[in-house]
Structure 1
Amino acid sequence: MTPIVILTILIIYFGILIGISHFVSRKDSSNAAFFSANKNSKWYLVAFGMIGTALSGVTFISVPGEVGAPSGEQFKYFQFVLGNAVGFIITATVLLPLYYRLNLVSIYEYFEKRLGFYSYKTAAAIFLVSRTIGSAFRLYLVVIVFQRFVFDAFGIPFAVTGLISLALIYAYTYKSGLKAIIITDTLQTFFLISSVILTIIFICYSLDLNAIEAFETVKNSSYSKIFFWEDFVNSRFHFIKQFLGGMFVTIAMTGLDQDLMQKNLSCANIKDAQKNMFTFTGIFVLINIFFLGVGALLYIYADANGVSVPTDFITGKPRTDLLFPEIAFHHLALVPAIVFLLGLIAATFATTDSALTALTTSFCIDFLGMDKPENVQKTKNVKIRKIVHLIFCLIMFAVIVIFNIINDASVVSMIFKIASYTYGPLLGLFTFGMFFKSRKVHDKLVPFICLISPFITLYISNNSKTLFKGYVFDNELIIVNGLITLILLLFISFKQKIELN
């Protein structure tokens, strides 16, 4: 598929999204529509659209790529997904009732009611930093794909590609925010799921396999191992590590994250929000099975047709997350390539548009107080909110440019890993708030606790082989991070009866 064809599809795709946004925002572009979609979202639309938010472009190309990684990943990611599913259920049954009972717009308002001003601002700041870096990183990896396969052909610099991507997202989110995203993400999730299923069909057709033969081929291949029980101490892939990591990462990065929770809180009531979460969980598990199946079929196709894993332009080493676009754009027919492109765009921008809206919401509510009774009716708030939205677009653009200047995949990976560490303090804060209701903290010390605990966690991770007789941490490290935060909070706490409304 030529760069001109890809560019044409991009223009048409975003034209549709901007058209939908314009239609949705004709009657209502208020802050209530932007922040919470006026709390009348249909739960089934939210559930379906959340798939696109939860599965980023990184997931779309990296999960299939990791199946055949030299480290022997195979289907080990499904262990993590099973933990995700349990985490989603805990979020739906424990955290959502709390948020609805307190009638929150930003979930971090809970800390103001429970722990105090500084705890509240600290939690909101953790989210702003973590989500900005994480979302910029996800978008950065996909901009690399667009740059390599499209914009290099036109001599367009990387920075311009990144700026164009964010400008397009801003164009269909700045007016109605969440109200528009509920609709656009539903459409994008449809493209995402269709892309995965159709890709499997196209690859099977290329390999001359029917559905049963494809299943047996994947099952009997060297890529299909799911459960890893060997060497709990030294292996990152052990089931317990992956499962517990998946569960707590989900609780922290979904249940304690304004991004995905904002969509849940746009439902009319707690029952609809929980139906949304349970439905979403089932679809999420199923679609990840398809992603892993795509990965196995891609490597089987590559082996059968002599396709090598593309090398990174920076390091010169094979880069598995480029195998999917390489096969889709250069080895399959036009229609499969278009299907892949639509899926990649949908996965990428459904994540980024939701993140930008959540960042704007959190800053406007948590730091500008736009939900306060004395501020709600101020007409200038809409203009301020649009400016904040633009500023976060520019901040994310700056982070993407910095990632590209660093030009070292290992450094970028470390930045992303450190960003994920910051969710550990949120896990500790919420655990303290919910399970130690008779205790209160010295509020002004909380920011220092949330700065100290990630560094202690990083030290433990880097020295775990020495400290714990060869033990190697993986995703379960977030449990350690949250536990350290909790212990330090208990250390600075004192007994006091607290009553919540």
Structure 2
Amino acid sequence: MTPTSILILIIIYFGVLFLISHFVSKKDSGNDAFFKANKNSKWYLVAFGMIGTALSGVTFISVPGQVGSPDIQFKYFQFVLGNAIGFILIAKVLLPLYYRMNLTSIYGYIEQRLGTISYKTAASIFLISRTIGSAARLYLVVIVLQRYVFDAFGVPFWATVFGSLALIFAYTYRGGLKTIIITDTLQTVFLVSSVIFTIYFICDSLDYNIPQAFEAVKNSNYSKIFFYEDWLKSNFVVKQILGGIFVTIAMVGLDQDLMQKNLSCKNIGEAQKNMFTFTGIFVIINIFFLSVGALLYMYAEKNGISVPLDSFTGKPRTDLLFPEIAFNYLTLIPAIVFLLGLTAATFATTDSALTALTTSFCVDFLGMDKAENASNPNMVRTRHLVHIGFSGLMFLVILVIYLLNSDSVVSLIFKIASYTYGPLLGLYAFGLFMKTKTVKDKFVPIICVLAPTITFVISAYSKEIFGNYEFAEELIILNGALTFIGLMLISRKATEQTRF
């Protein structure tokens, strides 16, 4: 597949998104539509669209790429099982709380429970976490587009990043969440179709039918799921499942991005149906992605294909194996299918993140949900400026990641999440479980900086401190626990008004 044909396909793809954005936001581009989709979203559209947002290009490329490592293989599925438990806990515990309080920003709970400074701290943690995490996700796909498309036209990396963010901004800045609900549904169709068709095309290239492919994957050196031999290692099953539970609670249940979609449903019943449906689809689609990874490595072995080298570090980069095979070894149709899936996965995540970042800043720091601001015509213009600001910030973060990162992007994102989302976990745990206590509000930012700092030091020296113990995703539990302990140290008796 030539760079020109890939570029034409991307242009057509974004043309469809612009048409959807135009018609969806034509009648209503106000703040209520942008922030909450007028609280009129269909639960089944939200459930299906959330797949594209939750998975992203990272799952599409990095998860299959990691399967080739002997210490990883299908290890990720242990984490996915933890994710599923976390989604159920969110549906049963956090969603009822958010609906009962009729929140636009979920961090409004912290304001009423712990105080204004705690509230601003929680919102700030989200803004930092989501900006870095979404930038890392978009960075991965821009690297692929740069290597297989824009290098051929002499376009520099920074221009590819800028153009990608400009396109996302252009179709989201008016309709916001109302547009995202529809575009994410379309993009999830491309994503799910892509992974299914990719399995079919690779099986066909390997001369397998589906049952034969299942047996081949099962009997391969890539399909080990449960690692329970050494509890000190990061791939140990209990660590992965616990990490999956708490990362999900933090990165989904305490994250404005994914919760914003849930809060756009008419009522709590529909929001919970959305979460349960989403959980089932999420588990199944991740099994497909892991299977794609095993098939890719089997295909690479058969055809003598090496893992491509990173153009920046010169080291093998497993993130690039899938696009390398799709663009250079399979036929035109599989290449198109791969490109549509990758583009859909990544831009569904980034457009949703930009909308959530804008919503959080406008509501949590500018008070746009307050009654006195509802009819102010300048608020829409201010919202547009905030949207531009976060697009620019994400642009700068991607450039920094490009200069500094050489790890798999999956590892990078969960490493970031362990440090940035941990304090959110501690704040909400304190609020929910310590009903008779509140905190000395002005000290909360200090606790939320100290906890991840101590966590980083413990993680860096864990082998020396704990006898070769390696932290994995369960690092977020330590971070949240340290935050909780710190909040207990600055706690005081709560009044009736601050108990929920």
Q: Is this a same-fold pair by TM over 0.5?
A: yes
Cα distance in 2 between the residues matched to 1:409 and 1:84: 23
Equivalent position amino acid for 1:404 in 2: Y
The corresponding residue for 1:104 is 103
Letter in 1 for 2:353: A
Matched, 1:324 2:322: yes
Q: Which amino acid aligns with 1:45?
A: L
Give the paired residue count: 499
Moved more, 336-345 or 400-409: 400-409
Q: SS where residue 55 of structure 1 aligns?
A: helix
Partner deviation per Cα, 1:82-138 (whole Å, 9 max, x = no partner): 000000000000000000000000000111110001000000000001100111111
Post-superposition shift, 1:411? 11
Match of 1:492 in 2: 490
Give structure 2 stretches of 5+ with no counterpart: none
Counterpart contact for 1:20–1:180, Cα < 8 Å: yes
Give yes or no for contact 2:217–2:295 (8 Å, CA) kept in 1. Answer: yes
Q: Which residue of 1 aligns with 2:313?
A: 315
Aligned residues: CA RMSD: 1.4
2:282 alignment partner in structure 1 = 284
Q: Aligned equivalents of 1:485 and 1:66: distance in 2?
A: 32
Return the match for 1:456 from 444, 454, 457.
454
TM-score (norm 2): 0.98
SS for the counterpart of 2:368 is: coil
Which residue in 2 is equivalent to 1:379? 377
The offset of 1:465, in angstroms, is: 1.4
- CA contact under 8 A between 2:240 and 2:474: conserved in structure 1? yes
CA contact (8 A) 1:439 1:498 kept: no
Q: 2:347 aligns with which of 340, 349, 354?
A: 349
State yes or no: 1:75 paired with 2:96.
no
Q: Distance in 2 between matches of 1:195 and 1:465?
A: 41
2:270 and 2:365 map into 1 onto residues whose CA distance is 29
Given the two structures, how large is their TM-score scaled by the length of structure 1?
0.98
Distance 1:44 1:426, change over 3 A: same
Alpha carbons 1:43, 1:267 under 8 Å: kept? yes
Question: Which of 387, 391, 394 is matched with 1:393 structurally?
Answer: 391
Q: Which letter maps to 2:197?
A: L
2:264 corresponds to 1:236? no
CA–CA distance in 1 between the matches of 2:266 and 2:134? 28
Unpaired runs of at least 5, structure 1:
none
1:55 alignment counterpart: 55
* Cα distance change, pair 333–24 in 1 and its aligned pair in 2 (3 A): same
Q: Distance in 2 between matches of 1:419 and 1:274?
A: 25
Check conservation: 1:309, 1:319, Cα contact below 8 A.
Answer: yes
Q: More displaced, 460-469 or 381-390?
A: 460-469
In the TM superposition, residue 497 of structure 1 has moved relative to its aligned partner by: 3.5
Q: Partner of 1:245 in structure 2?
A: 243
For 2:202, the equivalent position in structure 1 comes to: 203
Q: How does 1:470-485 map to 2 (within 5 A)?
A: 470-485=468-483
Q: Please list, as runs of the form range in 1=range in 2, the aligned pairs for 1:2-17 lying within 5 A after superposition.
A: 2-17=2-17
Deviation string, structure 1 residues 129-157 (Cα, Å, up to 9, x no partner):
11001111111111010000000000001
Q: Residues 350 and 414 from structure 1, CA distance in 2 versus in 1: closer, same or farther, beyond 3 angstroms?
A: closer
Moved more, 153-162 or 414-423: 414-423
* Distance in 1 separating the partners of 2:198 and 2:115: 51
User: Could you report, residue by residue, the CA deviation over 1:9-63 in whole angstroms, capped at 9, with x for unpaired residues?
Assistant: 0000000001000000110001000000000000000000000000111111000
> Is 1:64 equivalent to 2:30 in the alignment?
no
Q: Which residue type is aligned with residue 250 of structure 1?
A: T
Inter-partner Cα distance in structure 1 for 2:292 and 2:491: 50
Structure 2 CA distance for aligned equivalents of residues 419 and 321 of structure 1: 20
Q: Which SS does the other structure have where 2:245 is aligned?
A: helix
Kindly state the Cα deviation for residue 72 of structure 1 after the two structures are TM-superposed. Answer: 2.6
| CA–CA separation in structure 2 for the residues paired with 1:191 and 1:412 | 22
Identity across the alignment (%): 70
Would you say the 8 A contact 1:137–1:416 is kept in 2? no
1:246-279 CA-partner distances (Å, limit 9, x unpaired): 0000000000000000000000000000000000
Residues 419 and 77 from structure 1, CA distance in 2 versus in 1: closer, same or farther, beyond 3 angstroms? closer
**Which residue identity is paired with 1:119?**
S
Task: Return the alpha-carbon distance in structure 2 between the equivalents of residues 310 and 411 of structure 1.
Answer: 15
Contact 1:406 1:412 in 2 (8 A): no
